[in-house]
Chain A
Amino acid sequence: MVDKNNTKILAKDVDVFYSEKQALNKISMDIKEKEVTALIGPSGCGKSTFLRCINRMNDLIEICKVSGSIKVDNEEIISSATDVVSLRSKIGMVFQKPNPFPKSIFDNVAYGPSIHGLADTKSDLENIVITSLKKAGLYNEVKDRLNEPGTSLSGGQQQRLCIARAIAVNPEIILMDEPCSALDPIATAIIEELIDELRLNYTIIIVTHSMQQAARVSQKTCFFHLGELIETGDTNKIFTNPDNTKTQDYITGRFG
């Protein structure tokens, strides 16, 4: 398979320390535009830590120190000069547990556009909210109750609401941190279909514990183990003919 897409994110020698403990060791990888990249590996291997480096959410953890280089569209983001707010508006994030704001469905989606000043008028804002909800495949289910609290939705709907909230600010990249681990199989299937659609417009990086999910939704897969990037490549290749024996052992269920 030939890479037809450009590199969106380029990581080089990324080290992450939690106080003295090293969580990531010299991670280097490139992530292509408009593809789904899955990060897999056993618990504690550093895949979520790497994901949270990309939108600088690790800044919230005071003991966390990141070094190395991550370039998004050729711009360095691991630097004190990076504007974290604009970076995060470019890189949306969906969390493990759905975390809608305790506000109405409409306000949940409208919050991002309104703080960034993306809508001049009320009808602009309504348009953004409706298109975002449509893109997240939620609009038909909630169109009659946009003023009800977002927390009243089911788990799967809440997660799609969070996706709508993320895409409402026009990001180019969406980070997903085990987005389906709190959901039932049906809700998971809906989200996976959605990810497949979103791939046309966004670069998606998804952390998952489920290898079946990685195989289903991703084009590229990266296997992490004990803070190191063991193998990265096309999902087909990783799951059928991995180069590394550790990868082989993990995907065949011998550990992890």
Chain B
Amino acid sequence: MNSIVTQERIIALRKKRSAQDLRFKYYGFIAMCLALAVLVFLLYSIFSRGFTAFQKTTILLEINYDQEVLKLTPDSTEKEIEKGKFFKVKKNALNNVFENLSKSDAKLIKKLFSTNIDNEIKNYFLNNPSVLNTKQKLWVTAHSNVDQMLKGNSSRDVPEDRRKLNDIQLSFIDQLVQENRIQKEFNNFFFTRADSRHPEIAGIAGSFMGSLLTLFVVFILSFPIAIGASVYLEEFAPKNKLTELIEVNISNLAAVPSIVFGLLGLGVLLNVFGFPRSTPLVGGTVLALMTLPTIIIACRASLKAVPPSIKEGALAIGATKSQAVFHHVVPLALPGTLTGTIIGLAQALGETAPLIMIGMVAFIPNIPTGITEPSASLPVQIFLWVESAERGFQEKSAAAIMIILLFLFMMNALAVYLRNRFEKKW
């Protein structure tokens, strides 16, 4: 009798336990779905806003490369061409966009085009000097206001005084559209130019280069120092109060807010040592200081993961301590070390606050070519564009976020690749 009661209780308990099991499985599944939904929403909002930035609007313009107007001859050198009167050619072309334009209408027409079209007209001529004294039809960049209107980012239903384009300009645009003289094409400027005050010709090449140079400095500084520090702490340092204190403080440093490192850069690197302001050199140094603790922690973890039997084997046949470490332990720890370094670099790539402190937030319209030239960086560029009042910068900032995400994704993919490529099994 008693044993039957016990049996029933055991069965009831077992049912309860398996129900619990199932419940936790569903909790986990729901949590994962929620996280995934948030991620998808985030990516969707970025992509839906940003993808239009990869296209620009261009308008077909008939240009008369007249020898007299340009003040050039067929024998002109490149230097003379640089000084040619292309703005006059442009003015003539703009006046003839439509037939019989009044002076005020011509002024309105001019505002439909980017300020950069002088350069486009000149560059076309530089590449094709034979077009002198001919009429050429060129697709030239439209003004950001036109671009945004056609992409549907700004509405034409609002009252005229709250629009960037007035009714007459809208009717011109409509006419251009009807005559197929306006089109969208791939926005090469976005990938080849630095920042600009004019959204239609602003690009991320400058800040991308800046980020690359900064990461280069971070890598050069942090990788050797991190390897040295972690090998010393893990393999050579005596275990005493001092090394314990150092270890604790490395973990503490990893948690210090990044803006504090920016203040350090401002106070010490710029004011005491006189590093050049706004440059990848000083930005990279600050970010290297910031990522060092992270990389050291990752390096030490991977050194710890090497089985001690390998080191013992080397020592037992008479290798010195440093031979055992550098011939056997470090090579085996290298994949983990590289992965840790790349994760640290990825962290540095996304960092904005410390760069603001050391002046990498300045407006830099050039693509930097060295680590001592002023430059922007991707996250700061996004910050600057998000801040801008011009509507054209909004899609640019979303597109720049896409680029930085792609960059991060590729760095992580590289980390995974390196780990799989060099990891040794034993």
B309 in contact with A99 (CB, 8 Å): yes
Interface size on A, residues (CB 8 A): 27
Residues in chain A near residue B426, CB distance under 8 A: 100, 102, 151
Looking across the interface, which residue of chain B has its beta carbon closest to that of A87? B318
In the assembled complex, which residues on chain B have CB atoms less than 8 Å from the CB atom of A86?
Answer: 318
Q: Which of B239, B317, B320 contacts A92 (CB 8 A)?
A: B317
Which residues of chain B come closer than 8 Å to A169, judged between CB atoms? Answer: 317-318
Grouping DSSP codes into helix (H, G, I), strand (E, B) and loop, the A interface class, with mixed when no group exceeds half, is: helix
| Contact between chains at B318 and A97 (CB < 8 Å) | no
Docked-complex contact B317 and A165, CB < 8 angstroms: yes
CB within 8 Å of A: which residues of B? 238-239, 307, 309-310, 312-320, 323, 327-328, 332, 424-426
Q: In the complex, what distance in Å separates the CA atom of A111 from the CA atom of B313? A: 11
Binds B, one of A37-45, A55-63, A211-219: A55-63
Whether A60 contacts B425 in the complex (CB less than 8 A), given A86-B318, A92-B317, comes out as no
Compute how far the CA of A97 lies from the CA of B307 in the bound complex, rounded to whole angstroms: 12
A111 touching B327, Cβ below 8 Å: yes
19 contacts between A and B (CB under 8 A): A55-B316, A60-B312, A85-B318, A85-B320, A87-B318, A88-B317, A89-B317, A95-B316, A97-B309, A100-B313, A102-B424, A102-B426, A111-B317, A115-B319, A115-B323, A115-B327, A162-B313, A166-B316, A169-B318
Cross-interface CB contact of B425 among A85, A88, A151, cutoff 8 Å: A151
Whether B318 contacts A116 by the Cβ 8 Å rule is yes
Q: Are A101 and B310 in contact (CB under 8 A)?
A: yes
Q: Return chain B residues, CB-CB under 8 Å to A92.
A: 316-317
Report the minimum CB–CB distance from A132 to chain B (whole Å). Answer: 11
Are the C-beta atoms of B332 and A111 separated by less than 8 Å?
no
The answer to whether the Cβ of A112 comes within 8 Å of any Cβ in the partner chain is yes
Binding site for B on A (CB under 8 A): 55, 57, 60, 62, 85-89, 92-93, 95, 97, 99-102, 111-112, 115-116, 151, 162, 165-166, 168-169
Nearest CB on A from B317, distance (A)? 4
Report, nearest first, the 3 A-B pairs whose CB atoms are least far apart.
A89-B318, A99-B309, A93-B316
Q: How far is the CB of A183 from chain B (nearest CB, A)?
A: 16
Q: How far is the CB of B356 from chain A (nearest CB, A)?
A: 46
Within the complex, what minimum Cβ distance (angstroms) separates B407 from chain A?
33
A62 to B425, CA, bound (A): 29
Q: 15 other contacts beyond A111-B314, A115-B319, A168-B317, with CB at 8 A cut-off? A: A60-B315, A85-B318, A85-B319, A93-B316, A93-B317, A95-B312, A95-B313, A95-B316, A99-B310, A99-B313, A100-B313, A101-B314, A102-B424, A102-B426, A166-B316
Nearest CB on A from B321, distance (A): 9
B312, B319, B327, B425: the one contacting A99 at CB < 8 Å is: B312
**B309, B316, B318, B426: residue with the most chain A Cβ atoms closer than 10 Å:** B316
CB contacts (< 8 Å) of A168 on chain B: these are 317
**By CB atoms of chain A within 10 A, which of B307, B317, B327 has the most?**
B317
Chain B residue at minimal CB-CB distance from A166: B317
A57:B316 contact, CB within 8 angstroms: yes
The answer to whether A112 and B332 have CB atoms under 8 Å apart is: no
Q: Considering the chains assembled together, what is the distance between the CA atoms of A71 and B316 in angstroms?
A: 18
How many angstroms from the CA of A85 to the CA of B315 in the assembled complex?
8
Cα-based distance from A166 to B312 in the complex (angstroms): 12
Residue among A62, A115, A166, A168 with most chain B CB within 10 A: A115
Q: Please determine whether B425 and A112 come into contact, CB atoms closer than 8 angstroms.
A: no
Do the beta carbons of B313 and A101 come within 8 Å of each other?
Answer: yes
